[in-house]
Amino acid sequence: MSDKPVYSTAATMDPAASIASTNKVLSNTYWLLGLTLAFSAFTAMVSVVINLPYWMAVVLMLVGFGLLFVVHKMADSAKGLPAIFAFTGVWGASIGPMLSFYLAMNNGPAMVLQALGGTALIFFSLSAYALNSKKDFSYLGGFLMTGLIVAIVAMIANFFLAIPALSITISAVVIMIMAGLILFDTSRIINGGETNYIRATVGLYLSIFNLFVHLLHLIAVFTGGDD
């Protein structure tokens, strides 16, 4: 029973059954996304309260990358559910030190709330557009992947260069890429390109996570909170 499939396929279904299957995947994805985001927020809050050190945040981020592979490996069975909660919980905790840094500023709580509000607004707006328009955004895949690779290389380079202007540019680019990925991933679910709600949840979670982190950085920069 533990290996019961958690995905459905519409390859051999009639149109009505295919639509019902797609709607089920979409519903399950949003439910799981909401639960994992809430759990991630909880672990982030715990991380802030216990004042998690930065070195531990790096360790948790690396553990999270490992768990990401575990989630994808187990996504076709019920074992994927505890795996995705472990992954999102660890990644939520990993941003505790970053949140503590921003919350310690004079307008820190306001910046975090603005980032949360902005992230929610972008996600719901783009999701609603993809759902209502039912457009196929699969053509964005190659462009988004290339942009993501370039952004990662730039982030690694700027870790050593520490150029403020480049840091701002990277955050702006990442936000645009994450917005594109939200359209891309939602479109894949709607059009049957993704029938596994655990994998679909992971994709949307990562977009929201990175969207929040980089939006918070830009807000801090332009409100004078980040030097």
Specify the pLDDT at position 83.
96
How many whole angstroms separate alpha carbon 156 and alpha carbon 150? 10
The residue ranking higher by pLDDT, 139 or 47, is 47
The per-residue pLDDT for range 29-88, each reduced to its tens digit, is: 999 999 999 999 999 999 999 999 999 999 999 999 999 999 999 999 989 999 999 999
Q: Which one, of 179, 199, 180, 175, lies nearest residue 189 by Cα?
A: 199
User: Please, are residues 3 and 78 in contact by the beta-carbon 8 Å criterion?
Assistant: yes
For residue 155, give both structure tokens: 């982030």
| Identity of residue 112 | V
98, pLDDT greater than 50:
yes
Q: Does residue 227 register a pLDDT over 50?
A: no
Mean pLDDT over the full length of the chain: 88
Q: What pTM was computed for the model?
A: 0.88
The conformation of residue 7, written as its DSSP 8-state character, comes to: B
In the predicted model, is pLDDT for residue 6 greater than 80?
no
pLDDT tens across 206-216, in order?
A: 999 999 999 99
Alpha carbon distances (Å) from 44 to 47, 52, 108, 191? 5, 10, 16, 34
Nearest to 122 by CA among 8, 1, 216: 216
Residues 26, 194: Cα–Cα separation, whole Å: 10
Q: For 64-74, how does the pLDDT look when each residue is reduced to its tens digit (9 = 90+)? A: 999 999 999 99
Q: Say if residue 202 is exposed, middle or buried (CB neighbours under 10 Å; 0-12, 13-18, 19+).
A: buried
pLDDT of residue 16: 62
Q: How does residue 11 score in pLDDT terms, banded at 50, 70 and 90?
A: very low
Contact 221, 49 (CB under 8 A): no
Residue 134 pLDDT more than 90? Answer: no
Q: Which of 182, 2, 154 is nearest to 82 (CA)?
A: 2
Between CA 227 and CA 146 the distance in angstroms is: 30
pLDDT of residue 225: 58
